Amino acid sequence: MGGGQLIFTLDCEENIMDKKRLVFVICLVIVLSFIGVQISKAQELGGWSAPHRLSSEEGTSSEGFMVTDQFGFLHVFWIESELPDNRSIIQYARFDGENWSEPLDIYATKPGGEIGFLSPAVDGQGMLHLIWTAGNNGPVFYTSAPAYDALSAQQWSNPYRIDIPAYRVKLAVDSNNRLHILYGNFYGQEPGVYYTRSEDGAITWTDPIWLDPDIPDNRGPFDIEMGLDDAGGIHAAWNYLNPDLGFDALRYTHSRDGGDNWELPIEIDEPDESDNELRAARPGMIVQGQNIYIIWAGTEDTNREFRFSTDAGQTWGVPIRIFGGLHGEAIGDGRAIDAAGRLHFIGQIRWPQGLYHAYWDQNHWSVPSMVYLIAQGDKDPIGNRIHAHHVRLAIRSGNQLITTFTNSPGEGEPLALYAMHYILDDVSPLVALPTPTPKPVVTPTPLAVDSTPTPFAVATIPTPPKFDDTALELTSTPAPTSPLWLGLAPVLALLGGLIGFQLFRKR
């Protein structure tokens, strides 16, 4: 009796110990699973956040159009089309450094309507301005809202119509709150790059100035860029497209007197005898004080080239190839200036294929680092990774990089817009201004289009079919194994070993 009781007691104690071991194993698996996934993510993203989807599941998205303000917010706009009701809408979201707001519809077309291209800007008083094109040949519409209260649909003004034949547009606001528009007329009777200005909040506009009356035959401006310097100068860069031959010369011009007079354009780069040179240049320009930086994909293999001026565009250094053997082009790159004055670049290049980040520190480029892996080589399947295109960049509060990008238009799937962010640990953030108290809106203002004509006259020009620029994409291939399974593999191996050890002890 006593011996049986002793055996029963020992069995109970052993069962209790086995349960404790089981609980310990389960807790260990949970902890190691979390650590494994986090390590895998950190190795994959290099400190960047995971991609966050901004666009909805319903339609197809455009690229992201971003601007930051003095209150510490980043604002991003995008177009969604191919929706169930056949409308196109402008979506807006705001980022405070940690969290994204829910998207807000700030404008919708009638069924069948089109929205072509957006351009936002913020002025010194904290007003957020936005223009967009309606189709390939204009017109352009303008609206505004307080940047600190732009998540309220009622704060956006009624869109105002500007009758210019614009295919693509860029907006800038100077220290005197004058609105500057650079636009490319691609499909009209007089294709070229034009400039106009408003000094009364978009009510009236100056007569457009034609910046490139010497445009070569059978060419049209495609990508356009504009920036303001710290002495009242305005800078413009663009490339040409020959619908039969592809992209052509990259040009630049500037005005030293706020847009009244412009210099004759100069060539930043032009094709030579090399095959396919400048075939996907996609120039990007950024202005910092009196420094002008231009980056483009210039060589046969679309290696990045870089050229800059330190005297507001009067003289230029020679073009230089940057980033070594990394090459490829995916509908443009992102550029932005941090609070330390450094120029940052992010773009999709290869190999390995991915998003790479580098910065120019006054006299040299840093070694590019991959921040998002797409594919190790051309035999890797993409799997659940995003084949990033339309890469753009902004810097919030002087030290936080935010990049937006879509998936590839060549894959047959609807385009979706994603965002990632990263904090520079060697740059102090700018001090944000306190946000004013939002003004109450007594009567909601519908976003109906103001059809009041501006002083412009629009020629009646038949619009040819859209130019399909997706044919110019470089094909690239897909990506490796999911980081989740990479993180769980050692954990599952450990779990199997512990279970095997327990079974062995039982025997």
**Closest residue by Cα to residue 131 from 160, 99, 156:** 160
501, pLDDT greater than 50: no
Q: What percentage of the chain carries pLDDT values higher than 70? A: 76
Query: Nearest to residue 164, comparing CAs of 136, 130, 145?
Result: 136
Distance CA 120, CA 238 (A): 19
pLDDT tens digits, one per residue of 147-192:
999 999 999 999 999 999 999 999 999 999 999 999 999 988 899 9
43 pLDDT band, cuts 50/70/90, is very low
- Rounded Cα–Cα distance for residues 483 and 489 (Å): 10
Report the 10 Å Cβ neighbour count for 62.
22
Better-scored residue on pLDDT, 188 or 128:
128
Residue 488 in tokens: 């769980």
Does 444 score more than 80 pLDDT? no
Residue with tokens 């330390």: 340
Q: Is the dihedral of CA 186, 189, 193, 196 positive or negative?
A: negative
- 481, with CB counted inside 10 A (0-12, 13-18, 19+), is middle
Domains belonging to the chain, first-starting first, are 52-470 (2.120.10.10)
pLDDT at 441: 53
pLDDT category of residue 12 using cuts at 50, 70 and 90 = very low
Residue 294 to residue 283: CA distance in whole angstroms: 7
Lowest mean pLDDT among 21-30, 155-164, 216-225, 370-379: 21-30
Name which of 330, 297, 283 is nearest 473 in CA terms. Answer: 330
The pLDDT, as a whole number, for residue 152 is 94
Q: What integer best gives the mean pLDDT of the chain?
A: 83
Return the pLDDT at 254: 98
Provide the edge-to-edge strand list for the sheet that holds 266-269. Answer: 220-228, 234-242, 246-255, 266-269
Would you say residue 276 has pLDDT above 50?
yes
Structure tokens at 90: 């402008």
Q: How far apart are CA 117 and CA 94, in angstroms?
A: 19
Q: How far apart are CA 92 and CA 156, in angstroms?
A: 12
- Give me the pLDDT at residue 420, please: 98
pLDDT attached to residue 277: 66
Mean pLDDT along residues 279-284: 85
Is 259 or 279 the better-scoring residue by pLDDT? 259
pLDDT(274) > 80:
no
Amino acid (one-letter) located at 384: N
Whole-prediction pTM: 0.80
Dihedral, 338, 47, 393, 69 alpha carbons, nearest 10: -60
Determine the Cα–Cα distance for residues 353 and 476; give it in Å rounded to an integer: 8
Confidence at 41, pLDDT banded by 50, 70, 90 = very low
More confident: 70 or 218: 70
Contact (CB, 8 A) for 284 and 294: yes
* Separation of first and last alpha carbons in the chain: 27
Q: Is 479 helix (H, G, I), strand (E, B) or coil?
A: coil
pLDDT at 478: 34
More confident of the two residues 291 and 455: 291
Does 103 sit behind a cis peptide bond, omega within 30 degrees of 0 on the bond before it? no
Q: Is the pLDDT of residue 75 over 80?
A: yes
Question: Tokens at residue 198, please?
Answer: 């408003």
**Burial letters for 198-207: b for 16+ Cβ neighbours within 10 Å, e otherwise?**
beeebeebbe
Both tokens of residue 220?
């049209």
| Rounded Cα gap, residues 272 and 248, in angstroms | 10
pLDDT, residue 273, reads 60
SS3 389: strand
Q: Is the pLDDT of residue 456 over 80?
A: no
- Residues 464 and 243 sit within 8 Å (Cβ to Cβ): no
How high is the pLDDT of residue 246? 76
Q: Are 266 and 253 in contact (CB under 8 A)?
A: yes
Which amino acid appears at position 49 of this protein?
Answer: S
Tokens, residue 312:
């507001």
Could you read off the pLDDT of 224-266 as tens digits, one per residue?
A: 999 999 999 999 999 998 877 778 889 999 999 999 999 999 9
In this predicted structure, the answer to whether residue 267 has a pLDDT above a threshold of 60 is: yes
pLDDT in tens, 23-40: 444 444 443 344 343 433
Q: What is the pLDDT of residues 400-426, one digit of tens each?
A: 999 999 999 988 899 999 999 999 999
Question: What does residue 173 show for φ and ψ, rounded to 5 degrees?
Answer: -125, 130
Q: How does DSSP classify residue 189?
A: S
Backbone phi, psi, residue 432, to 5°: -80, 145
Percent of the chain that is helix, strand, coil (3-state, to 5): 15, 35, 50
Q: What is the pLDDT of residues 194-212, one digit of tens each?
A: 999 999 999 999 999 999 9
Estimate to the nearest angstrom the gap between the alpha carbon of 328 and the chain centroid: 17
Among the ranges given (272-276, 284-288, 371-375), the one the predictor scored with the smallest mean pLDDT: 272-276
